[in-house]
Structure 1
Amino acid sequence: MTKNQKFALVTGCGKGGIGEALVKQYTSRGVHAIATVLPNENHDHLTEAGITWFPLDVTVEKSVIDLKQNILAITGDGLDILVNNAWVFLSFLDPFSRSGLADYGYTMTAIDTDVEAVKRMFNVNVFGPMQLVHHFHDMIIKACGTIVNIGSIGGVVPYMYGSSYNASKAALQHWSNTLRLEMSPFNVKVITVISGEVGTNILKNDINRELPEGSYYSPLAAEFKKHVQRTPTQFTDRFEYAANVVAQSLKSSPTAWFWYGSSTSVIRFFDTFGWRTFFDFVFYREFNLGKVRTAHLARMKTEM
């Protein structure tokens, strides 16, 4: 490799996902892209494209440490770009789709949440990126590099049935905010990507989830089932998304929050100029919460 060769590590590069599109885009821009996939996950799509890849489970520290040794053997001592993507395919309309790697979402009302399931989600969606940065920060500092954290508009708006997922994205995004400040003395850039709907060919992992028996939201059981089985109709092509994220990451002065993908423009506008409960009104109607209120009032009358 030449002295001027740039290196980009992208986690979560399963077939058909955002990560795969990102490493292919970096490669087309002359960057040596290094991909990760879950241990035992298919990697033929990367091998056939001539992309360097390694196994990684972001929730296992030894896996991260082993990855670092492999990266050092390739780059020498620096890393120009780290893209924390392993834990998510992000979306506003469909925030629980599966990526090819370690994706974890949880579709459920806040009061009916299985907390143990959510702990696993936070391990993947929040602590995974933290662990990558903890172990790779010295390499990134040496390269005066860039960290890209893939967030979601789910972390901005109160999307129904997504309280836990949204919380994990909000945590990541605000951690990324502070990371940007703390890394600034070292000339390391941190980009938080606020992603909208991005199309992949991977099925949802919550397709068979149902509301628990006796839930206060039982009047919406049919709607909930339809929600988890829906097929998004409006989304941004993943290669278009990747091209724009990669271009942003290669800038000398990238934007702090980079909004891209279906629905991001309207969400950004109303988050900036609307009142704080604006989306309460929108989602109350969209998810037919009036039906829950009517059932609740009727139940209270029978109990009086």
Structure 2
Amino acid sequence: MSSKERFALVTGCGKGGIGEALVKEYASRGLHAIATVLPTESSDHLSEPGITCFKLDLTVEQSILDLKQSIQDLTGGRLDVLVNNAGLCYTMTAIDTEIIPVKRMFDVNIFGPMQMVHHFHDMLIRSRGAIVNIGSIGGVVPYLYGSSYNATKAALHHWSNTLRVEMSPLNVRVIISGEIGTNILKNDIHRQLPEASYYAPLASEFKKHVQRVPETTNRFEYAANVAAESLKPSPAAWFWYGKTTSIIRFFDTFAWRTFWDMIFWRTFNLAKLRDAHCTRLKGGL
């Protein structure tokens, strides 16, 4: 191992996601890229030179400790970049949310990055490295059917803000990044509204929503820009890159607080739900 060799660790590098794009981008930039995939996932898509892959379950602390030992052996106890990318999605109305899958989502989306930083901070401090936490516009605006997912990302954003300040005296940079549409919806594609839900009149719209293919920035283009930003001596604290990020950040900053209510009423056809609800009330149901 060269004393000048740099190492980047990216969690959540399943096939087709931004983790895969990011770890390949770091490898192309000459870093020794370290990918993690779930114990049940294949790593065949990460077989190119410059990438080392390990299994990781963020919900099991011993799995993180085992990963730390493997990376210590590989890098000599240094880590230049940690990208907390692994994440889960749960699509459902707030009133119909089931808590058990949401608890698992919090374990991955927020407690996972917390544990990764807790166990790997010494390596990052030793290398004067960078932490990149992958956020979402859902953590900024009240995107419908994503209340619990949005909550995980809002928590990640605020935790990262504080982490950035606390790590600055130790010469570790912290970056919040987003947004990019990938295959995170793949586990929700068959999700349906409960038959008795107040939102049942929008069942067909909900089905189209979970089965949609987001039109967003190419994941490899996104990865190239995030990797470049993370390797700068003074990166942006919030690095948002994508087709809609600038306008969303602008309106969230300067528009009135209920601006998004109006936008999402139209986008998600909430007038149809209101009319169905009024009809139901008139019928005494």
Bin of the TM-score, shorter chain as denominator length: over 0.9
Amino acid at match of 2:259: F
In the alignment, which residue of structure 2 is the partner of 1:190? 174
CA contact (8 A) 1:147 1:190 kept: yes
Show the counterpart of 1:67.
67
Which of 128, 140, 149 is 1:144 aligned to? 128
**Residue 86 of structure 2: aligned partner:** 86
Normalised to the residue count of structure 2, the TM-score between the two structures is 0.96
1:20-99 to 2 correspondences below 5 Å: 20-87=20-87
- In structure 2, the residue corresponding to 1:4 is in which secondary structure? coil
Task: Return the alpha-carbon distance in structure 2 between the equivalents of residues 293 and 174 of structure 1.
Answer: 34
What residue in structure 2 maps to residue 204 of structure 1?
186
Residue type of the partner of 2:171?
N
| Counterpart contact for 1:196–1:264, Cα < 8 Å | no
Q: Which amino acid letter does the alignment assign opposite residue 271 of structure 1?
A: D
Between the aligned partners of 2:198 and 2:185, the Cα distance in structure 1 is 28
2-side partners of 1:229 and 1:80: how far apart? Answer: 37
**Whole-angstrom distance in 2 between the partners of 1:180 and 1:77:** 22
Q: Report the equivalent of 2:153.
A: 169
Q: What SS does structure 2 have at the residue aligned with 1:82?
A: strand
Distance 1:15 1:62 in 2: 24
Q: Deviations over 1:172-231 (max 9, x none)?
A: 11111111111111011100002133x45x762111111112211111111111211222
Superposed CA deviations along residues 69-106 of structure 1, whole A, max 9, x for unmatched, are: 0111111122111000122xxxxxxxxxxxxxxxx211
Asked if the contact 1:85–1:150 (Cα under 8 Å) also holds between the matched residues in 2, the reply is yes
Give the CA deviation at 1:49.
Answer: 4.0
1:303 is paired with a residue whose SS is coil
Structural mapping, 1:117-266, within 5 Å:
117-197=101-181, 199=182, 204-232=186-214, 234-266=215-247
User: Given that residues 13 and 36 in structure 1 are in contact (C-alpha distance below 8 angstroms), is that contact kept between their aligned partners in structure 2?
Assistant: yes
SS in 1 for 2:71: helix
Shift of 1:276: 1.2
Pairwise CA distance, 1:118: 0.6
C-alpha contact 2:110 2:156 (8 A) present in aligned 1: yes
CA contact (8 A) 2:131 2:175 kept: yes
Give distance in 2, aligned partners of 1:289 and 1:86: 32
CA contact (8 A) 2:176 2:239 kept: yes
Query: 1:294: Cα distance to partner?
Result: 1.4
CA drift of 1:127 comes to 0.7
Question: Where does residue 262 of structure 2 map in the other structure?
Answer: 281
Indicate the SS of the match to 1:204. Answer: helix
Aligned to 2:95: 111
Unaligned runs of 5+ in 2: none
Letter in 2 for 1:237: N
**Contact kept in structure 2, 1:196 and 1:263, CA below 8 Å:** no
Tell me the residue number matched to 1:16. Answer: 16
Q: Residue 178 of structure 2 contacts residue 241 of structure 2 at CA under 8 Å; is this kept in 1?
A: yes
Structure 1 residue 152, shift from structure 2 partner: 0.5
Provide the C-alpha distance between the structure 1 equivalents of 2:20 and 2:204, rounded to a whole number of angstroms: 35
Q: Deviations over 1:33-61 (max 9, x none)?
A: 11111113111121244411111111110
Change (3 A) 1:203 1:298: closer
**Distance apart, 1:124 and its partner CA:** 1.0
Cα distance in 2, alignment partners of residues 301 and 43 from structure 1? 57
Question: Matches of 1:49 and 1:16 in 2, distance apart?
Answer: 19
Secondary structure of 1:225's match?
A: helix
Would the aligned equivalents of 1:158 and 1:279 in 2 still touch at CA under 8 Å?
yes
Helix, strand or coil for the counterpart of 1:236? coil
Q: Give the conservation status (yes or no) of the 8 Å contact 1:153–1:196.
A: no
| Segment of structure 1 superposing worse, 292-301 or 152-161 | 292-301
Cα root mean square deviation, aligned: 1.5
Answer 1 or 2: which has greater helix percent.
Answer: 2
